[in-house]
Structure 1
Amino acid sequence: MADYVVGDIQGCYRGLTRLLEYVKFDPSHDTLIAVGDLIGRGPHALETLQYLYSLQDSFSTVLGNHDLHFLAVYSGIRKNKANDKYDKLLASSDVDKYVHWLRHQPLALTLDENTLVCHAGLYPQWSIAQAQALSDEVSANLQTDNWQSVLKKMYGDEPNRWDENLSGSKRWRFIINAFTRMRYMLDSHTLEFTCKDSPEKTPTRFRPWFSVKNTNLKPNDKVLFGHWATLAGNTNTDKFIALDTGYIWQQQLTLWKRQNGEKYSVAYQD
């Protein structure tokens, strides 16, 4: 039995199946966890969701920015653009089923009290327990009949600093942005959204979120995340494990095996 955490799939169904074949993934006794961005920009959004949905209890995921964007496109809040590659999925007779399934997925998932899975990372002022509680706040609203109201208000860069007293759409927006869009910080509290490059190519005033000291983390805590392809999987620490290695950009698709802490990858194939 093995537990695998896979990086951003982004509708690259063929890459995913090659990677799972490589590690001999067997859903009858193994589990697969995704860091979000199951779809978006890749050519096989429908096939990807069909497969992951079919895994049932052997699969779990958190939501990424592309997954949330798809829900907004489905809801008519945002336009469907050609490079989203959602057309076939939107036209599917099963699209409602997949939308219902996606909006019931969390922003953060604790594998145990010391291991967190999220899409973009852990805001440096939060503990793992607090992050899970904040994820649960947003999830509770995404699971109501009025779930689309969250999506209508999630776009925007403000507020960019956490305040426990934030409420309503401002609170949801910050939580969603921290979990799904965060890369750099301007200081220990302030999110910076414009830069997507690797740290060595970025002005030193921009600090990767994982380089900001988090006094709420325990020595053996781990955070597994995706979202940041230009990191190429490198954080220079085994506490923060980056799993987006840019398959959609013709690089690699990577997963991490929980039992031994090893990473496994396959190179891009068209």
Structure 2
Amino acid sequence: MLPCRYRYVIGDIQGCDAELDALLREIDFDPVQDRLWVAGDMINRGPGSLAVLRRLMALGDSVVCVLGNHDLFFLAVVAGAVSQGEGDTLHDLLEAPDLSELVDWLRCRPLLHVEQGFAMVHAGLLPSWTIAQARSLACEVEHVLSRADWQACLGDLWGGKPVLWSEDLIGPDRLRIIVNTMCRLRFLSLDDCIELKPKGPPEAWPRLRPWYAHPLAQWRTHTVLHGHWSALGYRDMGEVISLDTGCVWGGRLSALRLEDRRLFQVEGQPGCASETGD
């Protein structure tokens, strides 16, 4: 493989394979020279989850994907810990002849990717976490998901508590707050408690604070790349770049080239999904 030419970061794909194909052609992606980073939520809600996973898997070492809440939800469905709801589109995955290979690949993806001053996570980070601490905490969850008995832990990862981080947390509570932060977080209360229910733009919740807005956040040694929050759209805030531009809701699929911060976008197909759930 040749030295890396460009790194492209893509926001939430959510099963929009036609748009992913168009975007890769738009950026003239070369898997020999370029690297693709995907900020989680590769699947669900859109019509082509199976095609998306197979496409990403085929890219081998040319792609780095972090897990999002929809990716973990799929693993939980496979494990029997949760059931599909209205709006979920996982049937093609669940009925695929290569289901076991897809699952094994997905559950071995990281929650956080750190490289050369950048940190990519699906949702967010807590203000008290340094990047080194966050990477260590992500590894705790990744270790559990990579074990042979991974299915047994999936039910423990669901739920909204605890809401306040403490290094003293152990067991399922510790894993759950790590997952909720990195895969589901949008808002914090003013005393740094996790608020999972509020959605929409930050302006709609004046008594809450976006996770990235804490003035003393310890992760500010790196530029954080994230998805998950389609109401933000694309925002380059310097130390934080939001990349979920709502493709599955009829918005756009976006790719940011890290070397010069040039943005590339393709239009989503209207009516592909209705926005419900995270």
Coarse TM-score class (shorter-chain normalised): over 0.9
Q: How many residues align?
A: 266
Deviations 1:62-88 (A, max 9, x none): 000000000011111111335211111
Structure 1 residue aligned with 2:16 = 12
Q: What are the ranges of 5 or more consecutive residues in structure 1 without an aligned counterpart? A: none
Q: Which amino acid aligns with 1:191?
A: I
- Could you say which residue in structure 1 is the equivalent of 2:232? 231
1:166 is aligned, of 166, 169, 172, to 169
- 1:251 equivalent in alignment to 2:251: yes
Q: Which whole-Å deviations, capped at 9, do the CAs of 1:95-151 have from their partners, x for residues lacking one?
A: 110100111111111022x21000001211111111111001110111111212221
Question: C-alpha distance in 2, partners of 1:70/1:60?
Answer: 19
Please list, as runs of the form range in 1=range in 2, the aligned pairs for 1:94-243 lying within 5 A after superposition: 94-112=98-116, 114-200=117-203, 202-218=204-220, 221-234=222-235, 237-243=237-243
Contact 1:187 1:207 in 2 (8 A): yes
Output one character per residue of 1:211-252: Cα deviation in whole Å (capped at 9) or x when no partner. Answer: 112342345x200000000001236x2110000010011011
Q: Distance in 2 between matches of 1:204 and 1:69?
A: 30
TM-score when normalising by structure 1: 0.95
Q: List structure 1 segments (4+ residues) > 6 angstroms apart after TM superposition.
A: none
Contact map agreement 2:248 2:269 (CA 8 A) in 1: no
CA contact (8 A) 2:230 2:246 kept: yes
RMSD of aligned alpha carbons:
1.3
Contact kept in structure 1, 2:188 and 2:210, CA below 8 Å = yes
Query: Deviation at 1:194?
Result: 1.1
**Conserved 8 A contact 1:124-1:188:** no
User: Matched residues, percent identical?
Assistant: 38
Aligned partners of 1:62 and 1:119 also within 8 Å: yes
2: CA distance, partners of 1:243 / 1:73 = 26
- CA shift in 2, pair 1:79/1:218, >3 Å: closer
TM-score by length of 2: 0.93
Give 2:254's aligned amino acid: T
